[in-house]
C-alpha cells in the first residue's frame, strides 16, 4: 500500500481514514458525485497538511439490479464489460479534478467478494441471519425496500416511478437485536452522525417500530448480478450489504494487516444526505454483528442543483465533471463549489456565478497580488528577495487567520475556512495599495519598498499553503513563482518549511499570470453522455 504523502513509514503519526460513497456504475459521473469527491479530497489534503498519515478511499458500486438493467439497456452482453467502461469514466473524472485518492475500489473485484462473504459468514455465525419470506415493495432506483407509506401517488418519491412488488425467500438480518446499542451509539457525547439534524432524523428512523429486520439477499431467480451467498448459490447478497463493506475491503481487512490495524475504524464516511440510513443504521449494525469497531463519524452533505434546478436526464441538465474540468480547469470548479455553498446544506452550481466568483477571487484577488509582487521584485531586485524584517503584527495576524481557518476546516465549514484565507488576501492587497511600493522603489527607497514586497510574499506563502487543499494546481503555481523548490504537497503545519520566514537571497520566478481570467462562455453545458 502506497500513500500519497509517503507517511506510512512513520508509525508514530496520527492517522486519518476518509471514505466517500461509492458511486453506482449505472451511468457516468455527474457534478453531484464530483462535489462529494472534491470535498473528500479537500479533507484528505488538509489532514495531510496537519501531518497525519491519511488514507483516502473512493470507488464504484457495481452490483445490483439498477446496474444490471442499465447494462442490458446499453446493449452490453455482460454487466462486467459495462461496469468496466463506466468505472473507468469515474476514474478519469477524478484524475482530471485532481482527486488524490489512495485507492479506487470496485465492488466486482475478487478482494471485495471475499470480504463481503466473510462478513456474511460472521453475521450468520452470530445467529443474526435467518431465512424468511419477503413480500413487499422494492425500488431499484434506491435499491431499497419501500413501504406503502413511503410512496407518493403510488410512486417512489425519489425516482418518480412505481416500485416493483416482490415476493421471494430471502435471508434476513436481525436489525432489531441492535436497535438499543445503535441508539446508545447515536446518542454518545462524541457525535457520530453529523450534521445534528441528520443525527436526529436517524434516531427517529430507529424509533419507528416499522423499522424491523431487513432482507440481505435476493433470490438468484430475480437477480443474478451480485455476490453469491456463501454455501447457498441460489441467493445473492443485497447490494447495500455488498457496497457498505467496501469500506473495510479497501483498507485491507483480512488482506493487509498493517493497513487494517493502522486505519480502521474510519475517521470519516462522507456521504450524501439521501443515504444516511444505510450508513448510520445498517452499517454500524452489521459491524456490531461482525464484531468490528464502528466508524467515528458519518457526515451527510447537502445536494447540488444546476442553475437552480434538480439534475435530470429529461431536463438535459446533468453536468459532466470531465467537461467542466476541461472547459474551466479543475481549480475553478473546486473553488466555486466550496466557496459558494454551505457544505451541510443544499447548494447550487451556476456557470455565470462560477465565472464571476473565480475571476474576482482567484484571478483578481490572489493572482494580481502575486503578479504585482513578483514583477516588482524582478524589476527592482533582479528577482532576488532582499534582506528585511517582517513586522510582528503581520506575523501575529497570519497566525490568527490560520487558526481560524483550521477551526472551520475541522468542522467541514469550507466556505468559512476560505473566507479566513481571504482575510489574508485582502490584507495583502490593502498593504500594496496603501504603501504603494512601486512609488517607494521609483523614489529609490529600496529598503522600505523591499520590506513591503517581502511582507506580501510572506502572506502569499501562507495563502498558497492554506488554499492548496482547495485549489492544488493554482497553489503549486504560486509556490513555484515565489521561488520554492520543494513540492507544496510535502509541507505540513509543524515543519520548518511552514514556519520559516522567506530568506533573503531566494530567487522568485516571474512566470506571468498564475490564474487566467475565465471567459463568460455562452454555449450550453454538454450533458452527460449516456453510458
Ligand atoms: O447512493 N449533489 O450511489 P449514487 C450532491 N452506490 N451529492 C449527490 C448528488 C447531488 N446532486 N447526487 C448524488 C449510491 N450525490 C450508492 C452508495 S456507499 C456504500 C453506496 C451523492 O451514485 C449521493 O448522496 O446514487 C452519494 O453520497 C453519492 O453521490 C453516490 O450516489
Domain boundaries, the chain: 351-499
**CA-CA distance, 298 to 7, in Å (whole number)?**
25
How is 487-520 classified by DSSP, letter by letter?
-GGG--TTSHHHHSPPPTTPBP---S-SSPPPP-
Q: Whose CA is nearest to atom 11 of ligand 1?
A: 32
**Which helix (H) or strand (E) segment is 87 a member of?**
helix 79-96
What's phi and psi for 479, nearest 5 deg? -55, -45
- Encode pLDDT of 107-165 as tens digits: 999 999 999 999 999 999 999 999 999 888 999 888 888 888 889 999 998 888 899 99
Q: Catalytic: 37?
A: no
**Which helix (H) or strand (E) segment is 120 a member of?**
helix 110-125
In the structure, what pLDDT confidence band is assigned to residue 315 with cuts at 50, 70 and 90? confident
Of all residues in the chain, the percent with pLDDT exceeding 70 is 96
Catalytic one of 131, 159, 442, 517: 159
pTM above 0.75, yes or no: yes
pLDDT at 477: 98
Average pLDDT on 525-531 reads: 47
Q: Are 453 and 428 in contact (CB under 8 A)?
A: no
Closest CA to 403 of 483, 478, 469, 462: 462
CATH code: domain 351-499 is 1.10.730.10
Angle between helices 414-435 and 392-410 (to 10 degrees): 160
pLDDT at 3: 67
Catalytic one of 30, 52, 269, 361: 30
Question: Which of 18, 20, 21 for a ligand 1 pocket mutation test, highest count of atoms within 8 Å of Cβ?
Answer: 21
Angle at 18 between CA 14 and CA 23, to 5 degrees: 165
Q: Which three cell numbers stand for residue 123?
A: 453475521
What's phi and psi for 200, nearest 5 deg? -65, -40
Tell me the average pLDDT of the chain: 94
In the structure, what pLDDT confidence band is assigned to residue 68 with cuts at 50, 70 and 90? very high
- Residue 274 Cα to ligand 1 midpoint, Å, equals 8
Q: Are 47 and 266 in contact (CB under 8 A)?
A: no
**CA-CA distance, 77 to 86, in Å (whole number)?**
15
Average pLDDT on 157-175 reads: 91
**CA-CA distance, 250 to 253, in Å (whole number)?**
7
Q: Are 18 and 47 in contact (CB under 8 A)?
A: yes
pLDDT at 13: 86
Q: Whose CA is nearest to atom 7 of ligand 1?
A: 32
Ligand 1 atom closest to Cα of residue 283:
19
The two most distant CA atoms of the chain are separated, in Å, by: 89
Residue 348: helix, strand or coil by DSSP? strand
- Encode pLDDT of 464-516 as tens digits: 999 999 999 999 999 999 999 999 999 999 998 998 999 999 999 999 999 99
Amino acid at each position: 500500500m502506497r500513500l500519497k504523502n509517503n507517511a506510512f513509514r512513520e508509525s508514530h503519526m496520527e492517522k486519518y481514514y476518509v471514505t466517500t460513497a461509492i458511486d453506482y456504475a449505472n451511468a457516468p459521473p455527474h457534478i453531484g458525485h464530483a462535489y462529494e469527491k472534491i470535498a473528500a479530497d479537500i479533507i484528505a489534503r488538509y489532514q495531510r497538511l496537519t501531518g497525519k498519515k491519511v488514507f483516502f478511499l473512493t470507488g464504484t458500486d457495481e452490483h445490483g439490479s439498477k446496474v444490471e438493467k442499465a447494462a442490458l439497456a446499453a446493449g452490453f452482453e455482460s454487466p462486467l464489460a459495462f461496469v468496466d467502461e463506466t468505472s473507468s469514466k469515474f476514474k478519469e473524472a477524478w484524475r482530471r479534478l485532481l482527486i488524490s485518492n489512495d485507492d479506487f475500489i470496485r465492488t466486482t473485484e475478487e478482494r471485495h467478494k471475499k470480504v463481503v462473504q466473510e462478513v456474511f459468514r460472521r453475521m450468520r455465525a452470530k445467529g443474526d441471519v435467518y431465512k424468511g419470506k419477503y413480500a413487499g415493495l422494492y425500488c431499484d432506483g434506491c435499491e431499497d425496500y419501500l413501504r406503502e407509506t413511503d410512496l407518493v401517488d403510488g410512486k417512489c418519491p425519489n425516482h418518480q416511478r412505481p416500485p416493483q412488488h416482490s415476493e421471494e425467500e430471502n435471508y434476513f438480518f436481525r436489525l432489531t437485536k441492535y436497535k438499543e446499542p445503535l441508539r446508545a451509539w447515536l446518542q454518545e457525547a462524541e457525535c457520530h452522525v453529523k450534521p445534528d439534524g441528520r443525527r436526529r432524523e436517524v434516531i427517529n428512523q430507529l424509533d419507528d417500530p416499522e423499522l424491523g429486520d431487513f432482507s440481505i439477499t435476493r433470490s438468484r431467480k430475480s437477480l443474478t448480478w451480485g455476490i453469491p451467498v456463501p454455501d447457498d448459490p441460489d441467493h445473492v447478497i443485497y447490494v447495500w450489504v455488498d457496497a457498505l463493506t467496501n469500506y473495510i475491503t479497501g483498507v485491507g481487512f483480512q488482506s493487509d494487516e498493517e493497513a487494517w490495524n493502522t486505519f480502521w475504524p474510519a475517521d470519516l464516511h462522507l456521504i450524501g444526505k439521501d443515504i444516511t440510513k444505510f450508513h448510520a443504521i445498517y452499517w454500524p449494525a452489521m459491524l456490531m454483528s461482525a464484531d468490528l469497531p464502528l466508524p467515528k463519524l458519518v457526515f451527510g452533505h447537502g445536494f447540488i442543483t444546476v442553475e437552480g434546478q434538480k439534475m435530470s436526464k429529461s431536463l438535459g441538465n446533468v453536468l459532466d465533471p470531465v467537461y467542466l474540468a476541461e472547459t474551466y480547469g479543475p481549480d475553478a470548479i473546486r473553488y466555486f463549489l466550496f466557496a459558494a455553498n454551505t457544505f451541510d446544506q443544499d447548494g447550487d452550481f451556476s456557470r455565470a456565478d462560477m465565472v464571476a466568483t473565480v475571476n474576482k477571487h482567484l484571478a483578481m484577488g490572489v493572482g494580481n497580488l502575486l503578479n504585482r509582487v513578483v514583477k516588482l521584485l524582478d524589476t527592482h531586485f533582479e528577482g532576488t528577495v532582499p534582506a528585511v524584517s517582517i513586522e510582528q503584527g503581520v506575523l501575529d495576524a497570519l497566525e490568527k487567520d490560520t487558526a481560524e481557518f483550521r477551526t472551520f476546516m475541522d468542522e467541514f465549514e469550507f466556505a468559512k475556512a476560505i473566507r479566513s484565507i481571504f482575510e489574508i488576501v485582502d490584507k495583502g492587497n490593502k498593504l500594496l495599495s496603501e504603501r504603494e511600493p512601486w512609488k517607494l522603489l521609483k523614489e529609490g527607497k529600496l529598503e522600505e519598498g523591499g520590506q513591503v514586497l517581502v511582507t506580501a510574499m510572506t502572506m502569499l506563502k501562507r495563502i498558497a499553503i492554506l488554499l492548496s487543499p482547495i485549489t492544488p494546481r493554482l497553489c503549486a503555481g504560486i509556490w513555484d513563482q515565489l521561488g520554492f523548490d520543494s513540492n507544496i504537497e510535502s509541507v505540513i503545519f509543524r515543519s520548518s518549511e511552514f514556519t520559516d520566514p522567506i530568506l533573503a537571497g531566494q530567487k522568485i520566478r516571474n512566470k506571468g499570470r498564475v490564474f487566467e481570467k475565465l471567459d463568460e462562455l455562452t454555449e450550453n453545458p454538454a450533458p452527460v453522455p449516456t453510458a
